[in-house]
A and B are shown apart, each in its own frame.
Chain A
Amino acid sequence: MTTETASVPAPQEPEDTTQKPQPPKEAKSPRALAWTRRRHSAARFWREYRTHRAGLFGLAALVLIALAAVFAPLLVGADAQSVTEAPGEAMQSPSGEFPLGTDQFGRDLLALLVWGARISLTVGLLAAFLSVAIGTVVGITAGHFRGWYATVIMRVTDWFLVMPTLVLAIALASVMDRSIWTIVLAIGVTTWPTTARLVRAQTLAVESRPYIERAQALGGGHGHIMARHVLPNVMPLVLAQTTLVISSAILTEATLAFLGLGDPTVVSWGGLLQDAREAGAVSAGDWWYLAPPGIAIAVVALAFTLCGRAVESVLNPRLGVSR
């Protein structure tokens, strides 16, 4: 568990992000200079990232799956989800025409798998962003304001932290409408506490620096300090956290869909597993229906984790030095 006093060196020097005017070397505007600096740091980031083989593998897998999802209508046809225009017979085993067989409506399972990537990725990304956004806001404000506000908000965070995520998500998903937004919301509002705690610890570390005091002395308000000084410094942490939350959000989405809490009219990987179970594919032994969605979920979750770990070790100088 991260303790609140864990001091993590700031990933970036304050000079990198503050708006302090640079000494004019040439006739370049501050804006142009900032952009050059950003380009350089992006290039540096990529150079570092390239050295992580697992990270590259994860990235390649993600790009491949994302492309398949984006171009699904071109790859497998826009009407692959249609039950009334299903091309095959019910529950056909794999053949040349249907490489992964068909479902109980006679739809091509390979096509459904590609379409399912859309929902699984969308929900995973949105839920992770929601979760990290809530966590960041809570963490920064709790670290900045301290006092009774921090006490109250951190107890709320603790309460969410000890609540079993899945149970809470199931409860939320079952009282609201069945739609992907419900799932996004259910995952988002149940998984933020870890991010909040991390961000708060980092905020405390950043705020203890002298330049924050300087900014305050120069008249910087709460909003200015949080947005201009603290946020840029916790951003790397938040980024790494996001990539890691995505994989667990995708797993949770699949779990909820498998438990029948997803929108029954859209195709997702968890939903495919649920359909397979309802059609009796488990007792009938139709492995081609069960295996592909399961493997797809595992691969995507793994890819995001590999990326996340690589990003983290690039952005965290302590990890970088050790290599």
Chain B
Amino acid sequence: MDTQDQHGRTRSSSAAPEGETGQPRRAHNTPRARRRSRPLLLAAAAAAAFTLTAGLATPLNPAPQQAEARPAQAKDDGKKTLTVAVAQSVDSLSPFIAQRLLSTSIHRLTYEYLTNYDAKDNRAIPAFATKWEPSADKLTWTYTIRSNSKWSDGKKATAADAAWTFNKIMSKEGTATSNSNFVTNFKKVTAPSPTKLVIELKKPQSTMAALDVPIVPKHVWEKVDDISKFNNDKDFPVVGNGPFILSDFKVDQYVKLKANKNFWRGAPKFDELVFKTYKDQDAAVAALKKGEVSFVAGQPALTPAQANGLKGESDIKVNNGPGRRFFAIATNPGARTQDGKKFGDGHPALLDKRVRQALFLSVDRKTIVDKVFQGNAVEGAGYIPPRFSEYTWKPSAGQELTYDPKRAARLLDEAGYKKKGGKRVGKDGKPLDFRILCHATDPNDKAVGKYLKEWWGDLGIGLKVNCLDDVSVPWYAGEYDLAFDGWSVNPDPDFVLGIHTCAALPEKAKESAATDNFICDKKYDELYEKQLAEYDPAKRAEIVKQMQSWLYDSGYMNVLAYPNAVEAYRTDQIKSLTTMPSAAGNIYGQDGYWSWWSAVPASGKSSSDGGSSTGVIIGIAVAAVVLAGGGVLIALRRRSTAEDRE
């Protein structure tokens, strides 16, 4: 499912190191070396001047580029390529393992799912299945599989492939990492005929029209020895039946997809789709300005400064749609395994609900939206973003934990954490100090961390912002007090609700598991079971809202904001594409394949020259001066030792 995104635990890796510093290499200057130092200085100044001018031609500078061919447009062979700059890296290309947004988006494009979501209203619509109906007791579901879908190696895609895929996930031989929540209630899956798929259930399950499971070709995957370790990146092109075919992949460089001309819904208009990795969002923006990429994914969203800078450019459109994601602070409720064994070192004070609520009461969410997101987000409330209007929930006036530091202080006093000399001290005499896990690659985490430190500092609570490139290790080990958390939500909320159930807890301590934050509560689990078994949409939505209300009161998941998806594309390369929802929606990381499938290449040469920006040149010049300065220092010293070598 397209759930885990940039913000989840499995995210890792980051900025490649660059730049250099000189080692002091000291020796005793000979008189000769000494006398030389004046001409050397002159030479150094010349070198600095040279570096300065050289700096103007760095790839960051978008000015001198008219002569350049636009690679994303039409190449010599007339192939139309759409290049998308993404910041995330692929965790796995296997549909059984992949969890990240980029990987699951690629699966959406390369494999068919039983159903798809309508771009207009998120309604389930036919995809691999043309029709689906339950039996009277709603425990047997029959899907009619389309007969006009073919695998890219020429074989026909049938119900047998779908049955094999589901059975493989149900076998749980390390094959249910990404999709286990869909098959928990499955009893048996069979394919009586090539166009008929029958799923028998143990208990009613409301997500039957929203099974976000990529169907893989049985005849290819049967031959794989160990699916739990197979990453599907050996033989290209990878056999699939989606609108695109996975044709090449290089870790942290690119993923190439070519159009599937035989796709039953119609071939995509672009011949090739390339996801190119840019670890640095600013570099991606510069590439967009130059025309090297056609699209910059809003994951993470473009910063307000970047978006404002791009708005002034001709031929570039900035799309600011409501996001699918929530941005929250998760509170460690005491990590434990399924059989109740405790592990990790979460702060014991956080086991007190009053402390958790006090923390949330002293967070001004409006300021975060205004200052950190600069308006490109919606203030947080319930767990599910307002974009999914049927499930979203807002606390009532009495229940709402609005920004109220005085009430927070009262709650902390009640909980036994009195203020002594500016610090809250527990009954055991220890000051109240928390750690918060933050993603070193996400500027928003760090920015919000600064605010939290001050707000909680006023309250007498210490905070240590612990930014890591890969937060998954301490996270799985339960070694955190608080953590920045965020998930992309699907039109069907089952997955994001399921990650807080007891069943999602790890079997062994410190093992990876489906659980988000080690929450395990009987009442919540009962509600979860109830919503999963409820077929009436209105009643189910009601239960989902009750679950959100419980989560809100518990203080385990403090949703701060729903960030917008701020993304940008070149209109001289992409004429049009479908957003989702089609009126004011997002483009990258949709629930369906609409954006890339529907993208229409722009015809004709562009007249834009990217526009030069004096500011950028000055910035680069300054960077060059700094580098040159360092270089001169080193050169001077290197030189003096060289004299000594003789």
Contact = CB atoms under 8 A, between A and B. Distances in A.
Nearest to B287: A283
A283 B641 contact: no
Contacts of A177: 466
Nearest to B618: A287
The contact size tier of chain A is 35 or more
B216 to A, nearest CB: 37
B28 interface: yes
A105 B444 CA distance: 12
B466 A83 contact: no
B440 interface: yes
Nearest to A297: B626
B303 A301 contact: no
Contacts, number: 199
Contacts of B247: none
A169 B502 CA distance: 42
A84 B454 contact: yes
Interface stretch (B19-27, B86-94, B175-183, B536-544): B19-27
A83 B454 contact: yes
Interface string B602-646: 000000000001111011001101100110010011000100110
Contacts of A8: 28
A283 B282 contact: yes
Interface in A222-259: 240-241, 244-245, 247-248, 251-252, 255, 258-259
A70 to B, nearest CB: 24
A41 to B, nearest CB: 20
A319 B451 contact: no
A23 interface: no
Nearest to B310: A283
The contact size tier of chain B is 35 or more
Contact of A295 (B30, B310, B626): B626
A177 B438 CA distance: 12
Contacts of B447: 83, 104-105
B29 A319 contact: yes
Contacts of B449: 264-265
Contacts of A247: 633
B21 A282 contact: no
A301 B578 CA distance: 53
Contacts of B443: 278-279
Interface stretch (A27-35, A207-215, A310-318): A310-318
A321 B28 CA distance: 13
A283 B625 contact: no
Nearest to B470: A174
B305 interface: yes
Contacts of B30: 318
B31 interface: yes
B27 A301 contact: no
B639 to A, nearest CB: 12
B422 interface: no
B282 A277 contact: yes
Given A2-B644, A260-B14, A248 B616 contact: no
A295 B302 CA distance: 28
A73 B645 CA distance: 49
A255 B622 contact: no
A103 to B, nearest CB: 10
A19 interface: no
Nearest to B440: A260
A284 B305 CA distance: 6
Contacts of B28: 2, 6, 8, 316, 318-319
A319 B625 CA distance: 31
Given A248-B21, A264-B465, A290 B289 contact: no
B625 A280 contact: no
Nearest to B629: A298
B625 A295 contact: yes
Interface string B4-26: 00000000001101111111111
B519 interface: no
B308 interface: yes
B137 to A, nearest CB: 56
B222 to A, nearest CB: 42
Interface string B424-450: 000000000000001011010011011
Nearest to A2: B27
B469 A105 contact: no
Nearest to A81: B450
A280 B465 contact: no
A74 interface: no
Interface in A279-315: 279-287, 290-291, 294-295, 297-298, 301-302, 305, 312-313
20 contacts: A2-B27, A2-B28, A2-B641, A83-B454, A84-B455, A104-B305, A106-B371, A166-B21, A241-B24, A248-B24, A280-B285, A280-B302, A280-B309, A282-B60, A285-B618, A291-B618, A297-B626, A319-B29, A319-B31, A322-B35
Interface of B: 14-15, 17-31, 34-35, 60, 280-282, 285-286, 289, 302-306, 308-310, 367, 371, 374, 438, 440-441, 443, 446-447, 449-451, 453-455, 465-467, 469, 613-616, 618-619, 622-623, 625-626, 629-630, 633, 636-637, 641, 644-645
- Which 4 pairs of residues, A with B, have the shortest CB-CB distance? A285-B615, A322-B31, A280-B306, A284-B309
